[in-house]
C-alpha cells in the first residue's frame, strides 16, 4: 500500500509533466526577439539557442532558450523519477534519458559545437516516442482512449523525428522537429492530469 510520501512524490511528478507545455512559450518569446527572419517552419529550434551570429541570424535571448532546454529537461527527468511507480521502469528510464538529453542540449549550443550538440540532442528524439509507445499499452484497460492517443502520438512523433533528420536544410525541417517534440508535451501532460484527478494512489 502506498505511503503518504510516495503519493506526494507521484503528485509532484504529475505536476512536473502538467507544466511542461509552457516550454512552447519560451520558443515563442525567444523567436520574437530573433533577427534574420527566423521561421518556425524551416528553422530548427536549436538556432534559437545559438550564442553568436550565424547564417544571418542573431538570437539575443538565446539564454532563455538554452535555459528552457535545461529547466524543462529537469522537469521531465524529475517528473519521471517521481512517477516511476505509475510509469513503470522502462518508461521511467526512457523519460529520464530524454530529460537528460534536453539538459545536455541546453548546455551545448549548436553554434559552439555542432557535433556535441547533435550527440546531446539525439537521445531525446529516440527515447520520447518509445516512452509513449510503451506507456500507451499500460493504460489500455484503465484508460483505453488515452492509451490509443499516446500510442498514436508515439508513432507520429517517431515519424516526424525521422523526417526531421532526413529533411534537407531550408525545407520544412523546423515544422517536422516541432511535430516530433510538441505533441509529447501534451501527451504526457494529459497522462499526468488523469493521474492527479485519480488521486495518484
- pTM for the model stands at 0.91
Residue 190 Cα to chain centre, angstroms: 14
What's the rounded mean pLDDT across residues 49-75?
91
pLDDT value of residue 19: 97
For the cut 50, the answer to whether the pLDDT of residue 1 exceeds it is: no
The overall average pLDDT reported for the chain is 92
List, for residues 2-30, the tens digit of each pLDDT value.
455 558 888 999 999 999 999 999 999 99
- Domains of the chain, by residue range, sit at 4-197
Cα 142 from Cα 147, distance rounded (Å): 9
Strand runs (DSSP E) across the chain, as ranges? 53-54, 57-58
Amino acid at each position: 500500500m502506498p505511503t503518504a510520501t510516495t503519493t506526494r512524490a507521484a503528485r509532484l511528478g504529475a505536476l512536473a509533466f502538467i507544466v511542461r507545455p509552457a516550454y512552447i512559450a519560451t520558443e515563442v518569446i525567444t523567436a520574437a526577439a530573433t533577427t534574420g527572419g527566423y521561421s518556425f517552419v524551416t528553422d530548427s529550434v536549436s538556432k534559437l539557442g545559438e550564442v553568436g551570429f550565424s547564417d544571418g541570424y542573431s538570437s539575443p535571448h538565446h539564454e532563455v532558450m538554452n535555459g528552457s532546454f535545461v529547466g524543462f529537461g529537469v522537469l521531465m527527468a524529475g517528473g519521471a523519477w517521481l512517477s516511476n511507480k505509475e510509469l513503470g521502469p522502462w518508461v521511467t528510464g526512457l523519460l529520464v534519458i530524454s530529460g537528460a538529453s534536453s539538459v545536455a542540449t541546453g548546455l551545448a549550443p549548436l553554434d559552439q559545437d555542432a557535433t556535441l550538440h547533435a550527440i546531446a540532442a539525439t537521445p531525446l528524439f529516440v527515447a520520447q516516442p518509445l516512452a509513449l509507445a510503451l506507456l500507451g499499452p499500460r493504460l489500455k484497460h484503465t484508460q483505453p482512449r488515452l492509451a490509443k492517443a499516446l500510442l498514436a502520438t508515439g508513432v507520429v512523433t517517431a515519424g516526424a523525428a525521422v523526417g526531421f533528420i532526413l529533411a534537407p536544410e531550408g525545407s520544412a525541417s523546423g515544422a517536422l522537429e516541432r511535430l516530433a517534440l510538441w505533441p509529447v508535451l501534451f501527451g504526457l501532460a494529459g497522462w499526468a492530469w488523469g493521474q492527479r484527478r485519480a488521486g495518484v494512489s
